[in-house]
Chains A and B, each alone.
Chain A
């Protein structure tokens, strides 16, 4: 059995659960008899309209300068549209996203527990669905996360392991293609290709001298590199 608030959460966000309710498959709702009676007396049409609006806003709502998922994941969403030409509005995509396990960890507000950002939840959904090319998915994800963190550097979300903190902010390096830096440091976005040496230098736990030796880089070049990274606010905490 689940409590009433969890049932309302599922009725709003989970199409499968909502369909069970609307189709009268009440055993699937996992509710005590008294709570089931309350749910059965609810206005199903109003619930359906609310659920539609919540789903639509999940994709379209702009987040305090961070942009909407439509804006942050254009190529992944285009891949969905090409596979689902009947879904002109994107509502089926929105319902599928909310229905997926990737959505479950998302928390916009931290007061009932910290969760993942909407940006990460949507990336996890795209991964599950295999939308677009994996390199594109990673690119859109890291760009979206840096957009979030440049606007909200103290965002109350759990960050994925691929994002590193520095004194100046946050950065990540793409792993699915030639190394590219994505950073949100000192209030601005930084993005560009990295040499394998710089990528190794920025790797978690990297020891600069050892990295320089492995890449055959002189001490003076190492020092210059560290100075440049430091100027950008990118020197990892361990350096």
Chain B
């Protein structure tokens, strides 16, 4: 398995999406140029003791051809103003690793390598799914084709990126929306993911909302939600993600609102002892106000996660 440089557990981390023009994101300031929103800096600075690791997502600034120079000012501003002790990684959003069609990833890898070189990202995370199809965007990543040919394509795509990327590519188990994820193929998604991870020699990210959404979609409830984790590539697991989820109208929704479910904590407790190469447990897309303070509705989730991760990280 391709491992990132530096050994050891990082502990609790935080992941931020940071789209352009969003309250939690980047923006173009008429006087200062491209900057990160101040509330992001306030949040990360005031929680410097809590997070030993931070990932930020790459989001397109415009429809220009990819050029790392277009992103340097904003990323410089972010990393100059937030605590420097935390390990940094990048979440890609365009590699489209589940695609069957021809898809030229070279410009994406070139851009990512330039960012790795400048900011020292320890690894690059990416969902093993479809972010677009035939050049047209999807509203959220769809699961890959759960077929043998889909599996071969995913391995091939991953190996090609892994060979050129200057930091390890970490594959993330994809999400399964109950409402809008038409799934093609009948391979078990855990088996599919494990095979791609193992065949490509990649590290893995287990997003607990994505895992639970898959099992929920298969009709699993209660104890059955935590079954089959032996089918996951737990020995390749480098990172675990927890984002806010809710069960609405009997459906499992990965809403990223900062409030974690009991089911996520339970699954985390079962995975922690089974992931020997785990580096970070990541609180993804926390919700905070303009002062950088966590919303009151989310504080209990954050404190509970922090408490659960602390013994593992010690």
**Which of A38, A53, A106 has most chain B Cβ within 10 Å?**
A38
- In the complex, the answer to whether B139 meets A42 with C-beta atoms within 8 Å is no
- Residues of B contacting A117 with CB < 8 Å? 63
Quote the shortest CB–CB distance from B276 to chain A (angstroms).
36
Tally of chain A residues near chain B (CB < 8 A): 44
Given A63-B63, A109-B132, A3:B182 Cβ within 8 A: no
- In the complex, the answer to whether A5 meets B62 with C-beta atoms within 8 Å is no
Given A8-B133, A41-B186, A154-B67, A64:B102 Cβ within 8 A: no
- Residues of B contacting A9 with CB < 8 Å? 133-134, 136
Q: Give chain B interface residues in 78-118, CB to chain A under 8 Å.
A: 94, 96, 99-105, 107-108
The secondary-structure label for the interface of chain B is loop
Instruction: Point out the residue from B64, B94, B103, B180 that lies within 8 Å of A53, measured CB to CB.
Output: B180
- In the complex, the answer to whether A109 meets B137 with C-beta atoms within 8 Å is yes
Task: Answer whether residue A49 sits at the interface, using C-beta atoms and an 8 A cutoff.
Answer: yes
- Residues of A contacting B67 with CB < 8 Å? 154
Task: Answer whether residue B181 sits at the interface, using C-beta atoms and an 8 A cutoff.
Answer: yes
- In the complex, the answer to whether A111 meets B63 with C-beta atoms within 8 Å is no
- In the complex, the answer to whether B62 meets A111 with C-beta atoms within 8 Å is no
Task: Answer whether residue A133 sits at the interface, using C-beta atoms and an 8 A cutoff.
Answer: no
The number of chain B residues touching the other chain, given as a range, is 35 or more
A151 to B21, CA, bound (A): 14
- In the complex, the answer to whether B105 meets A111 with C-beta atoms within 8 Å is yes
- Residues of B contacting A113 with CB < 8 Å? 102, 135
Task: Answer whether residue B145 sits at the interface, using C-beta atoms and an 8 A cutoff.
Answer: yes
Quote the shortest CB–CB distance from B1 to chain A (angstroms).
27
A50 to B141, CA, bound (A): 11
- How many A-B pairs have beta carbons closer than 8 Å: the answer is 125
- In the complex, the answer to whether B136 meets A13 with C-beta atoms within 8 Å is yes
Task: Answer whether residue B310 sits at the interface, using C-beta atoms and an 8 A cutoff.
Answer: no
- Residues of B contacting A157 with CB < 8 Å? 63
Task: Answer whether residue A212 sits at the interface, using C-beta atoms and an 8 A cutoff.
Answer: no
Instruction: Point out the residue from B96, B149, B182 that lies within 8 Å of A47, measured CB to CB.
Output: B182
- Residues of B contacting A111 with CB < 8 Å? 94, 96, 103-105, 107-108, 135
- In the complex, the answer to whether B183 meets A154 with C-beta atoms within 8 Å is no
Task: Answer whether residue A185 sits at the interface, using C-beta atoms and an 8 A cutoff.
Answer: no
- In the complex, the answer to whether B134 meets A5 with C-beta atoms within 8 Å is yes
- In the complex, the answer to whether A108 meets B132 with C-beta atoms within 8 Å is yes
A5 to B144, CA, bound (A): 10
- Residues of B contacting A154 with CB < 8 Å? 64-65, 67
- In the complex, the answer to whether B139 meets A53 with C-beta atoms within 8 Å is yes
Task: Answer whether residue A115 sits at the interface, using C-beta atoms and an 8 A cutoff.
Answer: yes
Given A53-B139, A109-B94, A42:B63 Cβ within 8 A: no
Instruction: Point out the residue from B102, B136, B142, B183 that lies within 8 Å of A43, measured CB to CB.
Output: B183
Given A64-B63, A109-B135, A50:B182 Cβ within 8 A: yes
Given A43-B182, A154-B67, A108:B137 Cβ within 8 A: yes
**Which of B62, B137, B149, B182 has most chain A Cβ within 10 Å?**
B182
Residue of B nearest to A42 (CB): B182
Task: Answer whether residue B185 sits at the interface, using C-beta atoms and an 8 A cutoff.
Answer: yes
Residue of A nearest to B142 (CB): A50
Given A154-B65, A156-B64, A50:B108 Cβ within 8 A: no
- In the complex, the answer to whether A6 meets B107 with C-beta atoms within 8 Å is no
- In the complex, the answer to whether A42 meets B65 with C-beta atoms within 8 Å is no
- Residues of A contacting B100 with CB < 8 Å? 3-5
Q: Give chain A interface residues in 1-33, CB to chain B under 8 Å.
A: 3-6, 8-9, 11-13
Instruction: Point out the residue from B99, B179, B184 that lies within 8 Å of A49, measured CB to CB.
Output: B179
- In the complex, the answer to whether B62 meets A112 with C-beta atoms within 8 Å is no
**Which of B101, B103, B132, B138 has most chain A Cβ within 10 Å?**
B101
A110 to B149, CA, bound (A): 24
Given A8-B133, A108-B136, A50:B62 Cβ within 8 A: no
- Residues of B contacting A238 with CB < 8 Å? none
Instruction: Point out the residue from B64, B99, B149, B182 that lies within 8 Å of A46, measured CB to CB.
Output: B182
Quote the shortest CB–CB distance from B184 to chain A (angstroms).
5
- Residues of A contacting B107 with CB < 8 Å? 111
Interface string of B39-78 (1 = CB under 8 A from A): 0000000000000000000001111110100000000000
Add 6 more A-B contacts to A13-B136, A111-B94 (CB < 8 A).
Answer: A3-B100, A5-B99, A5-B134, A115-B135, A151-B63, A155-B62
A/B interface sample: 21 pairs, CB < 8 A: A3-B100, A5-B145, A8-B184, A12-B133, A12-B138, A13-B136, A38-B184, A38-B186, A42-B182, A46-B182, A49-B180, A64-B21, A106-B135, A107-B135, A108-B132, A108-B137, A109-B136, A111-B104, A115-B135, A154-B65, A157-B63
